[in-house]
Amino acid sequence: MTTLSLRQVDHLQSSQPSQDGDGVKIKRIHDFGGGLDPFLMLDELGSDRPNDYIGGFPPHPHRGIQTLTYVLHGGLTHEDHLGHSSTINAGDAQWMHTGRGIIHSEMPLTDSHGLHAFQLWLNLAASEKMSPADYRDVRGGEMPRLAGGGAELVALGGRWNRDDGETAEGPLDALAGNGNVAHVRLEAGGELTLHTDAPTLLAYVFEGKLAVGDALVPAGHLARLSAGDHLALASATGGQALLLAGTPHEEPVAHYGPFVMNSHAELEQALRDYRDGTLTD
């Protein structure tokens, strides 16, 4: 008989109110010191008041990261210097590989529920930081699902394995750090057990309360999981979470605003390139 090695919460981090872009109000969790490696930051945008987000994110640069944006309500329109122009709506996602450099904008749209979206930053390995920029969007209908036991998992990227052998592999297959991302919904009394031995495993609860292993995690908190090979989720009253799994780069991180490199000298070079107009060359 196989004995499950259940993963437990070994660190809990609460989101903090912040703002970015043109005054967009967000809830933010970040760790540029390696505690979430290969992930860097997770922003939750959620409001039924347009003034909280309508200014959006006018054109700005990035280097050294990937971003993954996922929309639950409302939408976002992306435009960049490469000529990409795309709007994602509820259930859709967009992925951006900034590599050497990209200049883009994201402007919000609203629906009857306002705007509710997430943006995740993934760190690029040193060998990929100066690679060519890329972009793609994915529609909600392209994302496979695992359903049963009062639970549903939506696979955005990577391979997710339920303990009964059912699997779902998300369409975003080039996430940095072997990244896997999923959206989990639990009904009242719902349960879900996944087989995952990824070195980094995180669960961000954004609605209700979820039992993550033996710990009860409330909304607005990110749980980092201990080593093991299975993740057990349950909820007495229902809830939702984002699951993030990946492999750490274990490399130095140097961060300044929209740039994430491996050294201060590389940050200075990024700033010079942006000032000189050569960031995206």
CATH value at residue 145: 2.60.120.10
- Residue written as tokens 């997710």? 160
Residues 6+ apart with CB under 8 A from 93: 68, 69, 70, 71, 137, 138, 140, 143, 156, 172
Q: Which amino acid is at 256?
A: Y
Distance of CA 77 to the CA centre of its chain: 18
CB of 258 within 8 A of CB of 57?
no
Q: pTM for the complete prediction?
A: 0.96
280 located within any domain: no
279 located within any domain: no
- What distance in Å separates the CA atoms of residue 241 and residue 14, rounded to the nearest whole number? 14
Can you list the residues of the chain whose pLDDT is less than 50? Answer: 1
59 located within any domain: yes
What is the per-residue pLDDT across 62-113, written as a single tens digit (0 to 9) for each?
A: 999 999 999 999 999 999 999 999 999 999 999 999 999 999 999 998 877 7
What is the per-residue pLDDT across 197-212, written as a single tens digit (0 to 9) for each?
A: 999 999 999 999 999 9
100 located within any domain: yes
What integer pLDDT is reported at residue 2 of this predicted model? 56
What integer pLDDT is reported at residue 110 of this predicted model? 80
275 located within any domain: no
Domains: count for the chain = 1
What Rg, from alpha-carbon coordinates, does the chain have? Answer: 18
Nearest of 66, 53, 75 to residue 96 by alpha carbon:
66
- What distance in Å separates the CA atoms of residue 7 and residue 171, rounded to the nearest whole number? 26
Name the DSSP class of 133.
Answer: P
Q: Which residues pair with 42 in a beta bridge?
A: 29, 120
74 located within any domain: yes
End-to-end C-alpha distance for the chain, whole angstroms: 57
What integer pLDDT is reported at residue 46 of this predicted model? 83
Query: Quick one: tokens of 112?
Result: 């009857």
Q: Which domain holds residue 200?
A: 9-269
- What distance in Å separates the CA atoms of residue 235 and residue 167, rounded to the nearest whole number? 22
61 located within any domain: yes
- What distance in Å separates the CA atoms of residue 36 and residue 223, rounded to the nearest whole number? 10
What integer pLDDT is reported at residue 258 of this predicted model? 96
What integer pLDDT is reported at residue 22 of this predicted model? 74
What integer pLDDT is reported at residue 54 of this predicted model? 72
Count of C-beta atoms within a 10 Å radius of residue 166: 12
75 located within any domain: yes
- What distance in Å separates the CA atoms of residue 153 and residue 91, rounded to the nearest whole number? 13
What integer pLDDT is reported at residue 246 of this predicted model? 98
What integer pLDDT is reported at residue 216 of this predicted model? 98
